[in-house]
Structure 1
Amino acid sequence: MGVNLIDVFRDGIGDQTPVKISSYLGESTENTRSAIGTALPALLGGLLEKAQNLEGAAGLLDYIHHEQFDGSILDKQNILLEGGQDTTSLIEKGAGILDFILQDKKTLDNMIDIVTNRSGIGRGSADTLIKIISPFLMGIIGHQVKSKSLDSQGLSQLLLDQKKTLESTAPTGLFDSLGYTVFNAQPVPATKEKKESEKKEEEEEEEEHAEYHQSVSSRIIPWVILIAIAGGLLYIMKSCGGRPVSDSIGQNMKQDVKTVVEVATDDQSGDTVALIKPKSKGSQGIATERKVVDSIAIISLSQGAEIKVREGSFIDKFYQFVSHGGDNPYTRYTFDSLSFYDSTANITLASARQLEQVANILKSYPKVSIQLEGYAELSKDVGANKQLATQRAEAVKAGLVGMGIQQD
């Protein structure tokens, strides 16, 4: 299996940390050790549940980096468990971790009940204990990420590798009681497929621009509008040979982060994109193509890159539209990975990856211009929402420019 995170955790906290925790809780050391023995697999199982697909693993990796979990917390155990503000801060940190890992409060309540019933400690003590050990567990995982330079795929694999150990050592029925589905799934080659699929989605955007380049004839002058609803993008570039795109800030938009791609054509000849099937020639004059194998769309681009994504995914649909046209030149598509850290204009690491894909696509199709409009509805203050939306748009603009996209 490689690394056994339960063993690493036990070695990391040593013999004295359970004693200190028991003293802080006012519980016996024996019952406290028993409580840790139940809470640990419950928490680790929650992390497996979170990281069983690449999207969840990418979110977890973002969280680890953002919260700076690198293992250094293990060197501060004595100080953090002395009581006072240090211990209070540790517990608050643990509460935040649980909010991130677990699906809802009901899962945490069930976990507390299970730990209480199996160990004999009080319910309040079980709640506090779970919050105390959560930062230590995240520190251990963060250390693995840092020391091994794990990406989202590596993190997902690290956690899913714990599955057999957890199934054989955790209390019977623990994971079913907590509603974890990952332990009901077939063992994991599917994980690689999902990870590979996500990789393909990202690369696919680059190749879609190549396909788009092919569809740009003298009669069709497109502009692409990328709109991040609530996530917040607001950057306007002039349409190639067409009318300038207007500036607008939308209101009453949902806070879900979505990005809409709208392709419009300059209908000078009366033809629509649907009636024109351009030759598959990318920006380098090399043919591009798409094929589907086992529900995975494989797109070969002019730069020699290959994108693999789920058939029918955003990238797959967008690629097909820009390369072959469609009945509606105003067709819209939604990104699946573009977000910001709460109430900030800081793009998450996982989103930066998709932003890079957009940049690669734009490089492949230099005649395509984009309009980015930002929306944020985080408060009742319209002015504050507009300001945050603009800041987020500027962050995306800066990201694209930094990746080599010209600002016209």
Structure 2
Amino acid sequence: MLRLWDRFFGRMRRKAFFAHTVTMMGGTAVAQVITLLGTLILARFYLPSHFGVFSMFAGLVSLVSVWSSFRYEIAVTLPEKDEDAAALVQFSLLIVCSVSLVTLVLVIAAGRWLLPVSRIQDLHPWLPLLPLCILQVGSYNTLYNWCLRGRRFPGIVLARTAKSLFTVLGQLIAYLVVALPGGGLICGYAIGLAAGLGPILKRSKVVIASDIRWSRMLPVASRYADFPKKAGIGAFLDTASAQIPLIVLPVIFSSHVGGSFAVADRLFRGAVDFFSVTLGQVFYQRVASLRRDHEETTSLLLKTWKLLFVFFIGPSLLMLFFGREIFLLLLGSGWSEAGEYAAILSIGFIGQLVVSPTSLGLMAFEKLNLLLGWQVLSFLTMITALLLGFFFWRQDIKSFLWFWSCKEAVIYLLYGAILYRIHQRHEESLSV
């Protein structure tokens, strides 16, 4: 009888986990589709130079936000007691507020110094919004993990969907009322962040409205002090590798070039992020359960790569040979250069599309040092490419993009080789 009950509840738990997984994947898919369709619509109204200004602003927000709570937000799901988790949430929110305040002071102090830099003058009027957006993103990330801990999955999906939907709607409406270049996209972005934060705030009233737990806060923060030291560095390197090009390219070349690159990058990276989040989690769970069977894990890795390669090689080849025509059809007459950039970038992104969803294998085998080494390599090659672009290709964006795309292809080929070797030889490290 007891065995029957155990089987029943075991099945229910598996069904609940499957339902939660489907809910989260569905929410991610809906948010990604809204963002993709929104980009296609917005490109009919805004110029590439407007997207260049916006990419600088959004890149700065992302770059600062990754450190806005010192990465304590990802530890919110770990404490056994809800009281400790709530104290960690409050501590994270205090850090977010402090970082936002410091950013405001820096914006005020550096505003006059940045004004003479001609290629970021269009960004200058919107710098006061930077601390507000950092506050919104940092609060969202912290409370998101609180809701994740409480399994408030419908609320999380609602927040993601609202964030994407209201960003697009806000940017469309702001186009009619904001005349400054890029301002409509930036204002709509801030509106979307606020809309996404709303459902999360509603489901986090308990922790927000309660008294600050000073007696618990510092001991809990001390217990999870490794997160700023270890998780923070890798997260910053990942974010910097993706966002610094969006910030720097409009300065090196022009807002028009930066915006064309940003839109091409957004469309490719949207596919990478979607498959990394959805397929990547499934792959991680499967590898973690089979990690002592090197034949099974290696076979799973190769089958996953084969599936992704077959799935993406067709669209990538179409983009390589007909990128200009595809962008003209989807985005309009002002985006032919972006299509040419996308054609070049497709060579580098095919490696990301195939390898990135399996990158969590390094975590399954506890190879965190290798993961950090890869993040450092990616960051350094990105900085090197941008420096070469600044000194040698300031008047030749296509030569720079060919170098950039080949660089991406090579480092992801190397990443794939590392993953393959780890899946084949992981037994030695696990048995130690």
Q: Which has the higher strand share?
A: 1
Larger radius of gyration: 1
- Shared fold per TM-score greater than 0.5: no
- Please give the range of the TM-score, normalised by the shorter of the 2 chains: under 0.3
Q: Which has the higher helix share?
A: 2
